[in-house]
Amino acid sequence: MDAILKPVGNKAVRKAPHEVARPSREEAEAAVRTLLAWIGDDPEREGLLDTPKRVVKAYTEVLGGYFEDPEEHLQRTFEDVGGYDELIMVRDIPFHSFCEHHMLPFIGTAHIAYYPSGGVVGLSKLARVVDIYARRLQTQEHLTAQIVSAIDSHLAPRGLAVMLEAEHQCMTMRGVQKQGVSTITTQFTGVFQDDPSEQVRFITLVRGGSR
């Protein structure tokens, strides 16, 4: 299971994850067959015979973030950056995740910016952090906090800004059934938190990339 973040001051701190016994693949496939029967379909009909295997295989892929440690990608930093200490930004990082309440997808983009205090990390590593945390059952708020916590704890930047924009299928496919509604979450640390003009700069750069 994923760790839970509890806010302490301006940071999100991990609690020890609760260990859960993991069922076998066969048990997971049996659960899918039970669900198929529960919705009123016949798991033994031709079109559904291989569905349990396919569903478990698909979930292994789209929820594979449980089997990776995103912080491993932040271990290596580069100190030789020619004295550069200004803003570094990676925007429009696509991601897909699953709502932990309904297990329906939410799909969006992430934008990350930071002011280095020393070493910098490879740009692709920021995208990997987003991807690994996203491929777990999530809320968008929790996902935002996890990304901030991982980057902040390993890079200790002078300031960090993260914005997530996503469309939640639990609002689109069920409930209020509203198409095209975006949810935006942001979290700031350091100079971004202390200086509103830095927040404006970040959001302006994000919006400058909107299409």
Any idea what the CATH number is for the domain that residue 196 is in?
3.30.1130.10
Q: Is residue 32 part of a domain?
A: yes
pLDDT digits (tens, 9 = 90+) for 31-49: 999 999 999 999 999 999 9
Give the chain's domain count: 2
Q: Are residues 57 and 128 in the same domain?
A: no
Q: Consult the annotation and say whether 170 binds a ligand.
A: yes
Structure tokens at 194: 């202390």
| pLDDT value of position 10 | 42
Q: What range defines the domain where residue 40 resides? A: 25-63
Q: Consult the annotation and say whether 154 binds a ligand.
A: no
Q: Is residue 12 part of a domain?
A: no
pTM over 0.85: yes
CB of 128 within 8 A of CB of 110? Answer: no
| pLDDT value of position 196 | 97
The CATH number covering residue 40 comes to 1.10.286.10
| pLDDT value of position 19 | 77
Our CA dihedral for 18, 22, 28, 32, rounded to 10 degrees, sits at -10
Q: Is residue 8 part of a domain?
A: no
CB-based contacts of 179: which residues, under 8 Å, 6+ apart? 172
User: Among residues 39, 63, 87, which one ends one of the domains?
Assistant: 63
Q: Is residue 20 part of a domain?
A: no
Q: Is residue 18 part of a domain?
A: no
Averaged in consecutive runs of 10 residues, what is the pLDDT profile of the chain (211 residues)?
40 55 96 98 98 98 95 88 90 97 97 94 96 98 98 95 96 89 97 97 88 48
Q: Are residues 114 and 89 in the same domain?
A: yes
Strand partners, 94: 109
Q: Consult the annotation and say whether 111 binds a ligand.
A: no
